[in-house]
Amino acid sequence: MEGFEMKKVVLTLVMVFLFVPLLTLAFEEASSSGKGTSAVPQEQEKEKEEKKPTLRYSEKLVVTAYRLPAEEVELSRVPAPVTVLTAEDIARAKVVSLQELFQECPGVVIFDDVGNGIESTVEWRGFNEGTATTVLVDGVRINEPDDNRVDLEMLPIFSIERVEVFRGSSSTIYGGGAMAGSVNVVTKRGNTRPYTSVELNGGNYSRYGFSASSGGSWGKLNYFIGGARNHASGFRHNGYFGITNLFTKVGYDFSPSSALSFMHSYSRGEFGNPGALMEAEMMANRHQSPFNFVDNNAKRSQLFSLHWDHRPTEELSLRVNLFRRKNRVDTLTTGRMAALFGGFQTLSDIYTRGLTLQIGWDGWWGSRRHSLSGGVELSKNRFGAQGFSTDSAGSNPFLLSRNLTDHQIEGYFLQESLDLSPAVTLTAGARLDRVSFNYQDRLLPSNDNAKRFHKASLRLGVNYRLLPQANIYGSYSQAFLAPTVTDLFAYPGFGSNPDLNPTLADDWEVGLRAGVRDSLAFQLSYYRIEVRDEIVYVFDYFWGGRNENLGRSRREGMELSVQGRFTPHWKGFIHYTLTQATCSSGANEGKLIPMVPKNRLNAGISADLKGKWWLSLNALLAGEQFLFGDEANVQPPLDSYLLLDGRVSYSTGPWEAFLMMRNLLNREFNIRGIFIGGRSFFTPAPGLTFYMGLRFFI
């Protein structure tokens, strides 16, 4: 099997370095008839001289095309749909977490798993477990190695310069886990002009927040530091959250072609988990938490990162990233059966260190522009977990399990983007990943086990620029997700399955991007993702279940995005997502995958009046969704819901006052549902929520 995977890697590299140049020569020969013999036309020389070409509304720059943040690339050269959210977008949104920011993005799947309104699960392209998207912060993968999830709510929102959401399978760049897509977070750095920002806010449900940040530079040294604290009691009993963030980033520019930066991020969070309610319980009191009133989740995370960026020549680049992460999670779960069986507490410590090295060559291959990047990604993870039984109040813990896992990832990647003509860009890439687990059960050594997986992932895409403001693209890419230690070993007899196989995916996609000067941007994409051996937790009727390779499933859909500027002061957007996520084999063949709405529509309008007032009104309409545990689609689905949000702010000098309102219509609806034990349970969404604040910026 390994030999077969290696053959595919070699075949792709041959395609990149032999087949592509032959096609290039053919294009050049066809286009050179009757023309001069200059190897590089004058318009290309002009392009080389321009460090940052002037781009129109539809030609945003992205850095998602590389494993480590690198030179910006025109969107028309990327064969995939990308959503770019800037620091200005984040500031306008007045959000506390990335989950809130992603609510308005096309292709998103989002719901509240635990009921506190902040620890929401975010996924894309019809996936629903929160494990199919790779998230990176300044090039550092922050997916947890024990289950591949990401605690997005722990990221300091004030530190983010931009977010790029790359929808579609992308394992050739980011390795295992990037089945639905990837999220690339770029943090702020100090500017030449020093600046300081301070914000205070508060609202209903005992919500309050404070943040302060400052950035600037001294000669060749630049810095950005900040801190924040956000808290709310929540609209449900035991639905509180409290998050503290500290962030530091310091950089030093040795020369225009060489820079070093250090980043440290610390986060601490406390979360109540009010759980789900039956319909009769919600009718009596949607705010109650009668069976999960002591359940909670405490998290601490630290990230240290050192990044070196060096350009020995104008066309060559070398980037090195070293990082270390340390996380601790303490979770207590009781629930409806606690009176009979007590509760369960888990304590996990995760230590991760790694290295990513990337070499790039951005220049000209003959007379054609090209971008070649390759490198290696290495990480070592060690995580220990302890499980305790408790009484019904979560007290008197008794040790049940203790395990330690060593987890290693090796990834070798290569990608080339080449202009076959001034209008056509071909992208091809390959990556080989090796993933290993060494699991040790400290109480029952007979459960010790080891697993190794390896997978090659390929990618081929093409962009065709019909006009300066319009381009189409098509792509094929592969992705995989190795089973995690939680899937394989961590809970023997309670869901884990050591015989699991990696989940594999094939993604086909076509799309169109177009714009009209600075007034209109249009994106339309169609995709089909065929998934094999997808790992899901399959419930049985009597409160149990087990991780299984479900067989085959399909995600098929269309994403439409239109953004327009009606006048110099008014603009709006419409995002529509059609998703058909179905099981394609077994007893539930043709059935819809739970908690994925078939239709999702976002629309909004905003106004910037006289440079002082800023107003916006956004609407979200999410369609029906079948409940978790109802893979047969026989239970009544979760009802569709309409959500209206409004924002208003007033700025004068260095001051800004703002008001944010969610669920303006004060509608009662449910954000998640699960069918288990013959009954349906729901997570109610909050009614009208508002908070207001004051920001000082100089």
Say which residue, 294 or 63, is predicted with more confidence. Answer: 294
Mean per-residue pLDDT of the chain: 88
Mean pLDDT confidence for 3-23: 39
pLDDT band at residue 63, thresholds of 50, 70 and 90? Answer: low
* CB neighbours of residue 392 within 10 Å: 16
Give the pLDDT confidence score for residue 491 in this predicted structure: 66
Return d(Cα 698, Cα 689) in angstroms, integer: 30
Cα-Cα-Cα-Cα dihedral sign, residues 173, 177, 183, 188:
negative
Return d(Cα 431, Cα 458) in angstroms, integer: 7
Give the pLDDT confidence score for residue 540 in this predicted structure: 62
The rounded percent of the chain whose pLDDT value lies above 90 is 76
**pLDDT for residue 621 is more than 90:** yes
Q: Which fold has domain 2-697?
A: Maltoporin; Chain A (2.40.170)
Mean pLDDT confidence for 168-192: 91
- Return the structure tokens found at 514: 């177009």
CB 555 within 8 A of CB 583: no
- Return the structure tokens found at 73: 């690339």
Q: Residue 13 — φ and ψ, nearest 5°? A: -65, -40
Write out pLDDT tens, residues 647-660: 999 999 999 999 99
Return d(Cα 128, Cα 552) in angstroms, integer: 15
**pLDDT for residue 319 is more than 70:** yes
pLDDT band at residue 240, thresholds of 50, 70 and 90? Answer: very high
pLDDT band at residue 5, thresholds of 50, 70 and 90? Answer: very low
CB 645 within 8 A of CB 661: yes
CB 690 within 8 A of CB 197: no
Give the pLDDT confidence score for residue 457 in this predicted structure: 96
Say which residue, 37 or 199, is predicted with more confidence. Answer: 199
Coil vs helix vs strand at 299: strand
pLDDT band at residue 64, thresholds of 50, 70 and 90? Answer: low
pLDDT band at residue 24, thresholds of 50, 70 and 90? Answer: very low
Give the pLDDT confidence score for residue 497 in this predicted structure: 85
Return d(Cα 658, Cα 670) in angstroms, integer: 28
Give the pLDDT confidence score for residue 539 in this predicted structure: 67
Mean pLDDT confidence for 291-298: 96
Residue 343 bridge partners (DSSP):
390
Q: Which long-range contacts (CB under 8 A, 24 or more apart) does 216-223 make?
A: 216/190, 216/191, 216/192, 217/190, 217/191, 217/192, 220/252, 220/253, 220/254, 221/250, 221/251, 221/252, 222/189, 222/190, 222/191, 222/250, 222/251, 222/252, 222/253, 223/190, 223/248, 223/249, 223/250, 223/251
Return d(Cα 573, Cα 563) in angstroms, integer: 4
Return d(Cα 104, Cα 100) in angstroms, integer: 8
pLDDT band at residue 50, thresholds of 50, 70 and 90? Answer: very low
**pLDDT for residue 570 is more than 80:** yes
**pLDDT for residue 30 is more than 50:** no
Q: Residue 223 — φ and ψ, nearest 5°? A: -150, 155
**pTM for this model (two decimals):** 0.89
Return d(Cα 372, Cα 370) in angstroms, integer: 7
Write out pLDDT tens, residues 225-237: 999 999 999 999 9
The region of weakest confidence among 207-211, 212-216, 467-471, 538-542 is 538-542
pLDDT band at residue 348, thresholds of 50, 70 and 90? Answer: very high
Coil vs helix vs strand at 319: strand
CB 669 within 8 A of CB 639: yes
Say which residue, 147 or 250, is predicted with more confidence. Answer: 250
Mean pLDDT confidence for 479-492: 82
3-state helix, strand, coil in the chain (%, to 5): 10, 55, 35
CB 523 within 8 A of CB 531: no
